[in-house]
Amino acid sequence: MKNNTLIKQTKEHLHILCTEISERRVGSKGNRKATNYLKSELQKNKWKVEETLLKVMDWKTQGATLSCGQQFFDVFSSPYSLGCSVQGELVPVDTIEKLYKSEITDKIVFLYGKIASEQIMPKNFEFYNPEEHKQIIASIEQKNPKAIICATSRNSALAGGVYPFPLFEDGDFDIPSVYMKDVEGEKLLTCSKPIIKLESKAKRIPETAYNIVARKEGKAQKRIVISAHIDSKIGTQGAIDNATGVTVLLLLSELFNTYNGKYQIELVAFNGEDYYAVSGQMKYIKQNKGRFNDVVLNINIDGVGYIDGLSCISAFNLPDDIQAKLNDIIQNNPNIVIGLPWYQGDHSIFIQNGCPALAISSDWLIRNMESQEVTHTTKDNLSIINFERIPECVIAIKDLINALEEM
């Protein structure tokens, strides 16, 4: 297939995922439309498709208001938080030590400064969860304030390029919360009234979502797993994060529609990479317990196609023979470079289970992970995509799989 055809197909898939369907947050209608679209395309290309039901939480808000006397402040409902309509005394807290000492039961706690400097991992998130985060949650739950107000700055590495970022994004944490900009928080600190009023019109809605796994049998038991998450962050089209990754899966499914090789090929659309409960990932780990040693290689695609710079491949735990094949591929592809190591993606699942893995992304994005203002914001739309990057990645993956067949 010529590159032009691949570029045309890339544009068609991305148009459907980002423009027609648009937001694909876990539990939304758009998310189910996207998994349905992927499923039908994979079936068209003669893959055996498995759809796994996930019980998830969707979430909606009609906004939040905060007032101190006649003064109003700009606040937002924390994603996946319960709503509330409360009034009470405001207790400012800027460090963990202060949190431990403060009397906040039945009051409204205001987290700002140091304690609010990085997003608190969801309480049931297993992959990365600092002790300090667990202690903050445990302490607040034990003291049981009426609600939490958070003032935050910017923290691209953990929260994406959003300002302010929600300090809590956790459907398992039941103290209602809102968040605001740090500069707005400074104004709140000067509020002298004894009682403040907070309302957040948020609600949780039980919903369904699906993981999609497609397979082509191989001559051996061993498998190559190619993965991309299909969900987008709340309120975004998720073009680079990660409609381009899903598009890579779609194009590969067509290129390999008559595959009959040595390894089994498994295409996985994870549902939940940008979701507090990472439901699709947890489900896949459960389903594959004791079977990760079948995985010859995981190739995870997340963040490919950024408008500036080239694509990059980061390698983890590669045995020498696979590394040699990868080196050839990179040498023959002027548009693909070796990437920095990074772990905030689904390749971590495979690395943690001892599998060799590759993460394919955009070099610019990985280099600027700490400061970029693109992912998880409305800027993540098709205007930041270089469509040519996607077929380049697809062809590199195809060449690599063919090269692995010769091992």
Q: Which residues bind Zn ion (CB under 5 A)?
A: 241-242, 302
User: Please, which residues bridge with residue 77 across strands?
Assistant: 178
Nearer to Zn ion, 81 or 361 (CB): 361
202 close to 83: Cβ distance less than 8 angstroms:
yes
Report the residue number whose CB is nearest to Zn ion.
Answer: 241
For the bound state, the minimum distance from the C-beta of residue 377 to Zn ion, rounded and expressed in Å, comes to 13
Please give the Cα distance from 352 to 225 (Å, whole number). Answer: 15
Nearer to Zn ion, 169 or 302 (CB): 302
For the bound state, the minimum distance from the C-beta of residue 376 to Zn ion, rounded and expressed in Å, comes to 9
Nearer to Zn ion, 28 or 242 (CB): 242
For the bound state, the minimum distance from the C-beta of residue 125 to Zn ion, rounded and expressed in Å, comes to 15
Please give the Cα distance from 108 to 197 (Å, whole number). Answer: 9
Q: Give me the phi and psi of 248, to 5 degrees please.
A: -60, -45
406: left (phi over 0), alpha (psi -120 to 50) or beta: alpha
Nearer to Zn ion, 78 or 244 (CB): 244
Nearer to Zn ion, 261 or 309 (CB): 309
Nearer to Zn ion, 112 or 275 (CB): 275
80 close to 27: Cβ distance less than 8 angstroms:
no
For the bound state, the minimum distance from the C-beta of residue 375 to Zn ion, rounded and expressed in Å, comes to 7
For the bound state, the minimum distance from the C-beta of residue 281 to Zn ion, rounded and expressed in Å, comes to 12
Structure tokens at 152: 């935050």
For the bound state, the minimum distance from the C-beta of residue 323 to Zn ion, rounded and expressed in Å, comes to 25
Nearer to Zn ion, 26 or 108 (CB): 26
Nearer to Zn ion, 304 or 396 (CB): 304
108 close to 90: Cβ distance less than 8 angstroms:
yes
Given CA atoms 129, 135, 136, 138 in this order, what sign does their dihedral have? positive
For the bound state, the minimum distance from the C-beta of residue 228 to Zn ion, rounded and expressed in Å, comes to 9
For the bound state, the minimum distance from the C-beta of residue 312 to Zn ion, rounded and expressed in Å, comes to 15
Structure tokens at 207: 């919903």
For the bound state, the minimum distance from the C-beta of residue 189 to Zn ion, rounded and expressed in Å, comes to 35
Nearer to Zn ion, 168 or 342 (CB): 342
Nearer to Zn ion, 255 or 282 (CB): 282
For the bound state, the minimum distance from the C-beta of residue 36 to Zn ion, rounded and expressed in Å, comes to 21
CA dist 187 → 52, 73, 176 (Å): 48, 8, 22
For the bound state, the minimum distance from the C-beta of residue 242 to Zn ion, rounded and expressed in Å, comes to 4
272 close to 331: Cβ distance less than 8 angstroms:
no
Nearer to Zn ion, 266 or 302 (CB): 302
